[in-house]
């Protein structure tokens, strides 16, 4: 709870973050194994109280995308077994509600290795898969459509070319607005990246959240490269045709929905956690600073007292 990364996150207006075990890929950088489930935590600097919001926050299915044929086979077998277990539990509950259980009949629970898959097929947790190009995206969508589970697709670059397919599968996407990959020469189909991807997702009904090129925080001095200036990702999405309201939601309430914590954070509503930031200007203006950040109702950051930013002149 005393990490400088948390201090910087608060300075950037980040109150809640999805992180991966081992410090990988999320707020604190590094490389987590693809099999490690993530967690959602608060930037409650100085205390562990109420820091953990949700764990596990996802079920990584990286082996479906990058594993060996035998690993993909094992994964699918687990999903098939989990589906049978879910159907068994539903049948048991139905017969119990109708008083049709046999004397002494009890529900046989899923073995430990299948518990996470059962939760996935019940809709209690979402799967995460990295899928950038069309071929990878369609491989992920095939599995999602077959087993009908909630999924989050990360590092999506060519999703704009099959946005309607993603929408039909009801998969959510994590998008880096400024990712740049050129289409292969003489490509027979649309390919590569597009700054219009968020706008296309909005039009086709794909739920998405925005992230910067580097999902960490630092003081490198280049605005818009990491989470310290996350709203700039929204600004670039607006440049690509996205409306401002959806851009704001893509770094607040929609991001919370994708993480499964929208009941607590992501918007200012009665009954939710008191996580609030105060800005000195438009959130999508590169000149705007965070003046104050509240987490769980406590003031944890003030620009005027920050050793990093107090010397920088604001817009007021």
pLDDT for position 28: 43
pLDDT for position 23: 46
- Tell me the β-bridge partners of 292: 278, 302
Cα–Cα distance, 213 to 223 (Å, whole number): 11
pTM above 0.85, yes or no: yes
Cα–Cα distance, 106 to 126 (Å, whole number): 28
pLDDT for position 315: 67
pLDDT for position 35: 55
pLDDT for position 24: 47
pLDDT for position 26: 55
pLDDT for position 2: 86
Question: Tens digit of pLDDT per residue, the chain (316 long)?
Answer: 888 889 999 999 999 999 986 544 455 443 444 457 889 999 999 999 899 999 999 999 988 998 899 999 999 999 999 999 999 999 999 999 999 998 989 998 999 999 999 999 999 999 999 999 999 999 999 999 999 999 999 999 999 999 999 999 999 999 999 888 888 888 888 899 999 999 999 999 999 999 998 878 877 766 777 888 899 999 999 999 999 999 999 999 999 999 999 999 999 999 999 999 999 999 999 999 999 999 999 999 999 999 888 998 876 6
């Amino acid at each position: 709870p005393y990490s400088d990364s948390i201090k910087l996150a608060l300075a950037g207006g980040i109150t809640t973050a999805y992180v991966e075990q081992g410090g990988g890929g999320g707020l604190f950088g590094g490389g987590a194994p693809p099999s490690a489930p993530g967690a959602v935590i608060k930037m409650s600097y100085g205390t562990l109280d109420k820091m953990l919001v949700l764990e596990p926050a996802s079920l990584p299915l990286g082996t479906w995308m990058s594993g060996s044929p035998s690993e993909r086979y094992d994964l699918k077998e687990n999903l098939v077994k989990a589906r049978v277990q879910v159907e068994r539990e539903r049948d048991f509950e139905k017969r119990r509600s109708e008083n049709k259980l046999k004397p002494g009949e009890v529900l046989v629970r899923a073995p430990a290795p299948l518990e996470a898959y059962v939760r996935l097929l019940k809709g209690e947790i979402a799967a995460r898969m990295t899928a950038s190009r069309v071929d990878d995206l369609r491989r992920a969508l095939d599995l999602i459509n077959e087993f009908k589970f909630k999924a989050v697709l990360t590092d999506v670059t060519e999703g704009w070319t099959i946005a309607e397919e993603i929408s039909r599968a009801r998969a959510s996407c994590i998008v880096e607005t400024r990712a740049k990959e050129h289409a292969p020469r003489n490509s027979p189909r649309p390919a590569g990246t597009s700054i219009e991807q968020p706008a296309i997702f909005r039009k086709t009904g794909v739920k998405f959240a925005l992230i910067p090129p580097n999902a960490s925080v630092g003081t490198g001095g280049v605005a818009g490269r990491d989470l310290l200036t996350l709203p700039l990702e929204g600004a670039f999405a607006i440049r690509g045709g996205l409306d401002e309201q959806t851009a704001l939601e893509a770094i607040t309430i929609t991001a919370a929905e994708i993480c499964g914590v929208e009941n607590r954070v992501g918007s200012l509503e009665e009954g939710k956690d008191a996580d609030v930031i105060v800005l000195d200007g438009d959130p999508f203006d590169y000149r705007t600073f965070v003046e104050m950040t509240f987490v769980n109702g406590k003031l944890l950051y003030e620009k005027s007292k920050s050793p990093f930013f107090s010397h920088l002149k604001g817009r007021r």
